Amino acid sequence: MPAIVCGKRSFFEDLPSASTPVSTKVRCSSSTSPVRCSQFSPSPLRSSLVDRLTQVFPRMDQQLLEKVLEECGDEIDATIKRLRELCLESSEATSVPVKELKTKVEQVWILMELLVLLMILQLRTLCQLIVLEKSIAACAHAEVAGNLKKENMMLKQQDTILAHGVLNKHECQKEYDAMYWELQHLKQLVSHYQEQLRRLEVSNYTLRMHLKQAQESSSMPGCCHPDVF
């Protein structure tokens, strides 16, 4: 992990470059270490140390490795320790943005989950509304069907009653017609009998008159048969 973080060149390029001349002057002023003054012409030992540091920190810039190695007086252990400290500082410096990014990502995830939950709730509400609408439509359809069935039954009953009424009226009409013709026949008979009665009365009157005349003209009054009178 330190090697990966230290592979960012931009962080180490921002290190103050003034420390290198100071340490170089200090090392060059020492008469016991002439090798340390050879910053302009690196020795084979310096090259081997740089190669070793490159193996330990493969993603780190070579100039930075040389600079830190020079600051540490070509001591490989101190250089490695210093480079690790720099990597640790770099990781700590970048940890804050990472945490902030993680927090933002978590917030985005929470927001997305809330949106998904809201969509699920809206979809569930829509499904419930659809089911309710279908239920209301089914109830209305059932109610309409029931009303139509009741109306149909009432119409059938009324039709049956009307049919019975028509039949009864037809029977009554037949009876009325029969009674009418019978009455007409009776009227004719009465008229005929009245005419016969009138004729009989006239005939009887005529006979009585003839009988009276006959009695008046007869020489034996009171000897007539009583059935004639």
Give the pLDDT confidence score for residue 202 in this predicted structure.
92
Give the pLDDT confidence score for residue 190 in this predicted structure.
92
Distance separating alpha carbons of residues 99 and 105, to the nearest angstrom: 10
Give the pLDDT confidence score for residue 96 in this predicted structure.
53
CB atoms within 10 A of CB 68: 23
Give the pLDDT confidence score for residue 25 in this predicted structure.
33
Tokens of 197: 């009665």
Where do the structural domains in the chain lie, given as residue ranges?
2-94
| Digitized pLDDT (tens) for each residue of the chain, 229 residues in all | 444 334 434 333 443 333 333 333 333 333 333 334 334 445 677 777 887 777 777 777 778 778 887 888 877 888 888 887 877 776 655 555 656 777 888 888 898 888 999 999 999 999 999 999 988 888 888 888 888 888 889 998 988 999 888 988 888 898 999 999 999 999 999 999 999 999 999 999 999 998 888 888 875 555 555 555 4
Return the closest-CA partner of residue 51 out of 79, 28, 71. 79
Return the axis-axis angle of helices 76-217 and 44-56, rounded to nearest 10°.
20
Give the pLDDT confidence score for residue 9 in this predicted structure.
41
pTM: 0.31
CB atoms within 10 A of CB 67: 19
Give the pLDDT confidence score for residue 17 in this predicted structure.
39
